[in-house]
């Protein structure tokens, strides 16, 4: 397949070389397309067959350049683990251009496509392990209804890449309306390039937040307020799913409120507020229960970067102020949906808090608990009670929960259907990813495919996927995932 050369657009690259540095991918030996997201391909107007063709394989590996594309890497900076890290940038991601879709122009980006001027000491590559995780997680999050960058396909090569051990190279084709991060704004602010900062903000407003242009007051304060809202909403999704991002540096925060840069992320097994999924995060800065305040801290960094475009600091503070209340309110709303409650009632927040404390105290599996509630509603309590060390603690809580569910005119059958629609049976648990990676490294991609299929339908148990809904085995807690990818 060769996409129509005239259909590509280059809106971001057209901002100029201060933003996007022309950079061709580095060729990769013996590439093979090993996975494709059918739904993503469909959105782009392509088929799985198109993407597996020899011509597409070479282009997606970075060995050939599709006519009409203008590959580039972009500069950004950021705060990493609370410290100013200076200039970073697309060290291993190269954007080909924007492809028109029903959802508007979407950037097509090759992650792992070789060195760029922003690689610092890195090799510009990604390894199979991390590429498989990013590919599966992006599409899984999308199917769960969580804002995220997408993944179109996965290209694997036998070319060796040095990490803690020798591994093999892979390229993930990522797709998003934009990959602009908080760190892009921080870059132009910290280097004193205020004209470029304004150009960037105007670009983001024009294409992604057009309502800010005509908002009363300062348009850049309106942009900060809008990003604050989207970020609050994103964090609500993460928290109710038990999703830990792992590296919430400001360069990993999307200006569109998307989940971006899947590295050491984890869907928690046992509910643990203090859970730290990133083995390099020794201080626990990005622990599960720190994610909500950390995102607020990151928004303050964005606000600081936008200050040169505002009239005074108070405009920024006012834009950031609604974060906590909005995040809490969105999280409570999602949580009440998960519990099968219609609307919201006094005391809901307390009942939810009591539940989460109980799950933590009893080390209950997060995903399995919510999925099994539908059975418990119909009187089949055993599967959910089995998750507790002291099931009587559940019984007491469940009494109030059940009464609340059935006091709303719902029948058990309709409430069960509601519960199943709002609680996934299957998420990308670490050990499931790990098993699929190990099989792929032995040349068998069938487990990646089986997981991909199941994760595309997370709210049901597909025939042959029953084992993917089980709680984690004992060895899962020993899987160590760090930033190295
Ligand atoms: P991450 O922790 O993946 O968000 O990456 C942080 C920064 O390091 C970004 O600027 C990445 O582009 C860069 N980076 C990560 N891995 C590599 C690599 N293997 N080669 C070049 N740059 C990298
Ligand atoms: Mg990153």
324 pLDDT more than 80: yes
3-state class (DSSP) for residue 421: helix
Total number of residues shown for the chain: 485
pLDDT digits (tens, 9 = 90+) for 340-376: 999 888 889 999 999 999 999 999 999 999 999 999 9
Q: Is the pLDDT of residue 322 over 80?
A: yes
Residue minimizing CA distance to atom 17 of ligand 1: 122
Number of the ligand closest to the Cα of 93 = 1
Mean pLDDT, rounded, for 404-412: 90
Mean pLDDT of the chain: 97
Ligand that comes closest to the CA of residue 254: 2
What would the pLDDT profile of 369-384 be if each residue is shown by its tens digit? 999 999 999 999 999 9
- The alpha carbons of the chain give a radius of gyration, in whole angstroms, of 23
Task: Using the predicted structure, report yes or no on whether residue 394 has a pLDDT greater than 90.
Answer: yes
Mutate to test the pocket of ligand 1, among 76, 86, 88, 91 (most ligand atoms within 8 A of CB): 91
270-302 tens-digit pLDDT: 999 999 999 999 999 999 999 999 999 999 999
CA-proximal residue: ligand 1, atom 16 (nearest): 122
pLDDT band at 480 (very low <50, low <70, confident <90, very high): confident
Residue 132: pLDDT above 80?
Answer: yes
Residue 484 pLDDT > 80: no
Q: Which of 77, 89, 92 to mutate to test the pocket of ligand 1 (most atoms within 8 A of CB)?
A: 92
Q: What is the pLDDT of residues 83-124, one digit of tens each?
A: 999 999 999 999 999 999 998 999 999 999 999 999 999 999
251 is catalytic: yes
pLDDT in tens, 438-471: 999 999 999 999 999 999 999 999 999 999 999 9
Ligand nearest to the CA of 90: 1
Residue 407 CA to ligand 1 centre (angstroms): 52
CA of 285 to the centre of ligand 1 (A): 19
Instruction: Compute CA distances 300 → 43, 99, 183, 411, whole Å.
Output: 35, 33, 12, 46
The predicted pLDDT at position 290 comes to 98
Among 90, 251, 281, 381, the active-site one is 251
Using the predicted structure, report yes or no on whether residue 426 has a pLDDT greater than 90. Answer: yes
CB 66 within 8 A of CB 2: yes
How much is the average pLDDT of 202-211?
98
Calculate mean pLDDT across residues 419-435: 98
> Domain locations in the chain?
13-176, 182-266+275-326, 334-422
Choose among 161, 140, 160, 138: nearest CA to 150: 138
Ligand nearest to the CA of 281: 1
pTM of the model: 0.98
Return d(Cα 180, Cα 15) in angstroms, integer.
Answer: 13
What is residue 59's predicted lDDT score, i.e. its pLDDT? 98
Residue found by looking up tokens 């989207």 in the block:
230
Structure confidence at residue 280 (pLDDT) = 93
Helix (H), strand (E) at residue 260? none
Question: Residue 476 Cα, ligand 1 centroid: separation in angstroms?
Answer: 26
Nearest CA, atom 14, ligand 1:
91
What separation in angstroms does the CA of 430 have from each of 171, 235, 473?
21, 20, 11
CA of 140 relative to ligand 2 center, distance in Å: 19
Q: Which ligand is nearest to the CA of 89?
A: 1
Indicate which residue's Cα is closest to atom 6 of ligand 1.
88
Nearest atom of ligand 1 to the alpha carbon of 126: 19
Q: From the alpha carbon of 116, which atom of ligand 1 is closest?
A: 21
pLDDT confidence of residue 481: 83
What is the per-residue pLDDT for 344?
87
Rounded to the nearest angstrom, the distance between the alpha carbon of 34 and the centre of ligand 2 is 24
Q: What is the pLDDT of residues 23-32, one digit of tens each?
A: 999 999 999 9
Query: How many other CB atoms are there within 10 angstroms of residue 466's CB atom?
Result: 12
Kindly state the DSSP code that residue 463 receives in the 8-state scheme. Answer: T
Q: What confidence score (pLDDT) does residue 485 get?
A: 78
Distances (CA, A) of 320 to 62, 228, 292, 310, 323: 41, 6, 13, 14, 6
Residue nearest to atom 8 of ligand 1 (CA): 91
Q: Which is the closest atom of ligand 1 to the Cα of 483?
A: 2
Question: What's the mean pLDDT in 155-172?
Answer: 97
Residue 476 reports pLDDT greater than 80:
yes
Pocket test for ligand 1, best of 23, 26, 122 (most atoms within 8 A of CB): 122
Whole-number percent of the chain with pLDDT over 90: 95
Angle, alpha carbons 95-96-101 (nearest 5°) = 100
What confidence tier does 408 reach under pLDDT thresholds 50, 70, 90?
confident
Find the mean pLDDT for residues 150-156: 98
Going by alpha carbons, the residue nearest to atom 13 of ligand 1 is 91
Ligand 1: nearest atom to the Cα of 80: 6
The answer to whether 419 touches 374, Cβ cutoff 8 Å, is yes
Ligand 1 atom, smallest distance to 251 CA = 4
pLDDT at 73 over 90: yes
Report which ligand 1 atom has the smallest distance to the Cα of 90. Answer: 12
Task: Decide: 286 and 332 in contact? Cβ < 8 Å.
Answer: no
pLDDT interval class at 47 (50, 70, 90): very high
Greatest C-alpha distance within the chain: 65
pLDDT on residue 328? 98
Residues with CB under 6 Å of ligand 1 are 88-92, 118-119, 122-125, 247, 252, 261, 263, 483
- Per DSSP, the chain holds a count of helices (H) and strands (E) of 17, 12
In the chain, what percentage of residues exceed pLDDT 70? Answer: 100
Distance 146 CA to ligand 2 centre (A): 19
Nearest CA to ligand 1 atom 12: 91
CA 341, CA 349: separation in Å to the nearest integer? 12
- Alpha helix stretches (DSSP H) within 99-241: 128-144, 182-190, 194-208, 219-241
CA of 91 to the centre of ligand 1 (A): 5
Quick one: which H or E segment has residue 478? none
Helices (H), 25-106: 38-44, 48-52, 54-61
Give me ligand 1 centre to Cα 366, in Å: 31
Q: What is the pLDDT of residue 482?
A: 76
């Amino acid at each position: 397949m060769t996409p129509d050369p005239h259909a590509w657009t280059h809106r971001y690259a057209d901002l100029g070389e201060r933003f996007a540095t022309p950079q061709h991918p580095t060729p990769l030996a013996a590439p093979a397309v090993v996975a494709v997201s059918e739904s993503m391909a469909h959105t782009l107007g392509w088929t799985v067959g198109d993407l597996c063709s020899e011509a597409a394989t070479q282009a997606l590996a970075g060995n050939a350049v599709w006519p009409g594309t203008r590959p580039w890497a972009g500069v950004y900076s950021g705060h990493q683990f609370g410290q100013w890290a200076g200039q970073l940038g697309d060290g291993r991601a190269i954007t080909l251009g924007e492809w028109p879709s029903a959802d508007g122009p979407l950037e097509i980006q090759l992650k792992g496509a070789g060195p760029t001027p922003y690689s610092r000491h890195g090799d510009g590559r990604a390894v199979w392990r991390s590429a498989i995780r990013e590919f599966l997680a992006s599409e899984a999050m999308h199917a769960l209804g969580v804002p995220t960058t997408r993944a179109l396909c996965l290209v694997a090569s036998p070319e060796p890449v040095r990490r803690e051990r020798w591994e093999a190279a892979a390229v993930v084709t990522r797709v998003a309306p934009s990959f602009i991060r908080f760190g892009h704004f921080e870059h132009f602010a910290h280097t004193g390039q205020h004209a470029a900062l304004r150009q960037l903000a105007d670009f983001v407003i024009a294409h992604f937040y057009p309502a800010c242009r005509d908002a009363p007051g300062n348009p850049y304060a309106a942009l900060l307020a809008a990003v604050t809202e989207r970020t609050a909403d994103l964090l609500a999704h993460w928290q109710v799913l038990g999703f830990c991002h792992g590296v919430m540096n400001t360069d990993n925060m999307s200006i569109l409120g998307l989940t971006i840069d899947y590295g050491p992320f984890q869907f928690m097994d046992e509910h643990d507020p203090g859970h730290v999924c990133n083995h390099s995060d020794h201080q626990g800065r990005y622990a599960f229960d720190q994610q909500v305040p950390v995102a607020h801290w990151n928004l303050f960094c964005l606000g600081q970067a936008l200050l040169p475009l505002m009239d005074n600091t108070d405009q920024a503070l006012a834009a950031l102020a609604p974060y906590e209340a909005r995040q809490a309110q969105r999280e409570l709303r999602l949580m009440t949906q998960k519990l099968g409650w219609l609307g919201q009632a006094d005391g809901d927040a307390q009942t939810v808090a009591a539940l989460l404390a109980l799950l933590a105290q009893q080390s209950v599996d997060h995903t399995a608990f919510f999925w099994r509630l539908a059975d418990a509603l119909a009187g089949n309590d055993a599967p959910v009670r089995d998750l507790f060390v002291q099931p009587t603690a559940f019984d007491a809580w469940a009494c109030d929960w059940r009464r609340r569910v059935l006091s709303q005119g719902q029948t058990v059958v309709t409430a069960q259907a509601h519960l199943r629609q709002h609680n996934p049976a299957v998420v990308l648990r670490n050990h499931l990813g790990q098993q699929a990676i190990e099989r792929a490294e032995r040349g068998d991609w069938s487990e990646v495919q089986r997981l991909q299929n199941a994760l595309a339908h997370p709210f049901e148990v597909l025939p042959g996927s029953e084992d993917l809904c089980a709680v984690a085995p004992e060895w899962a807690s020993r899987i160590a995932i760090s930033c190295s990818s």
